[in-house]
Amino acid sequence: MQTPAPQSPVSATPQDDGALFDRIADALRERGYAVCPNALPPALCAALLAQLQAMNSADFSRAGVGREEDWTLNNFVRSDAICWITGASPAGGDWLDWASRLRQHLNRQLLLGLFSFESHFAHYRPGDFYRKHLDAFRGDTNRVLSVVAYLNPDWQAPDGGELLMYLDAEGGNTLKVLPGLGTVVVFLSEEFPHEVLPARRDRYSIAGWYRVNTSRGDRIDPPQ
């Protein structure tokens, strides 16, 4: 008889995660991106939503563009506000655990060598946007895989705020994703330009990036 797997505090579904993570790995292998409605475990969604409700605007700061010394505020490119997730809160810790399980699964299946993960909550007020961009530039970064998780109950098409993904270099083949609660999108950071269209409601999400280790000499990168 098999011993049941230990249950995580927010989700009794590591086994279900396995099936979802397999689907994500297959889609990444075939297309380089995966769009998965109802992917985040419901208990994790509930915990993250409760945390968002407990936060206020002072916990968020205006999002910038670029890394470290290249970081700048740019109202033309993006107008959302963000809060980095450290794991200090139980919900943040549960999210990081989920992201870590996905990382290990993808490393096993796709040999991506993903080394670390960084992520933040994002709040887009009505009208906020993030113009067309790439999350990583070839040879210039260690961000390999982007993941976005949406935290908006009852989101409808007229609410707008879609993630618009450009699937080919010409920009003719696009995909729109509604930011509904529990939907997760994963994609190769260097391959897919994307943008966030303005919404008519407050829009909440988590954006995260898996990175490879590009430390050399005395320069530790990622810095952790």
Ligand X SMILES: O=C(O)CCC(=O)C(=O)O
Residues that bind Fe ion (CB under 5 A): 135
Q: How many residues bind ligand X (CB under 6 A)?
A: 9
Decide if residue 149 touches ligand X (CB under 6 A). no
Tell me: does residue 143 bind ligand X (CB under 6 A): no
Please report where in the chains the tokens 């450009």 appear, as a residue. Answer: 166
Tokens of 133: 């961009």
Q: Which is nearer to ligand X, 148 or 186 (CB)?
A: 148
Query: What is the spatial distance between Cα 11 and Cα 21, in angstroms, rounded to a whole number?
Result: 15
Asked whether position 167 contacts ligand X by CB under 6 A, the answer is no
Going from the C-alpha of 132 to that of each of 128, 139, 163, 164, 190, the distances in angstroms are 13, 20, 10, 8, 13
Please tell me what DSSP assigns to residue 69. Answer: G
* By CB under 6 A, residue 148 contacts ligand X: yes
- Give the nearer residue to ligand X in terms of CB position, either 103 or 194: 194
Site membership for ligand X, residue 196 (CB under 6 A): yes
The one among 11, 205, 210, 211 contacting ligand X by CB under 6 A: 205
Q: How far is the CB of 193 from ligand X (least distance, A)?
A: 10
Residues 6 or more apart whose Cβ sits within 8 Å of residue 148: 163, 184, 185, 186, 205, 206, 207, 208
Work out which of 20, 207, 210, 211 binds ligand X, going by CB under 6 A.
Answer: 207
Question: Could you give the CA distance from residue 132 to residue 5 in angstroms, rounded to a whole number?
Answer: 43
Cβ proximity to ligand X: between 108 and 133 the closer is 133
Helices (H) and strands (E) in the chain, counts: 3, 11
DSSP H or E stretch at residue 131:
strand 130-133
14: number of Cβ within 10 Å = 16
Closest to ligand X by CB, 94 vs 135, is 135
Binding of residue 34 to ligand X (CB under 6 A):
no
Note whether 151 binds ligand X by CB under 6 A.
no
The span from the CA of 55 to the CA of 201, in Å, is: 18
3-state SS class at 101: helix
x/- mask, ligand X, residues 61-90, rule CB under 6 A, reads ------------------------------
Tell me: does residue 44 bind ligand X (CB under 6 A): no
Q: Is 210 in the site for ligand X (CB under 6 A)?
A: no
Taking CB under 6 A as the criterion, which residues in 99-138 touch ligand X? Answer: 122, 130, 135
Smaller CB separation from ligand X, 10 or 186:
186
- Interaction site with ligand X (CB under 6 A): 122, 130, 135, 148, 163, 194, 196, 205, 207
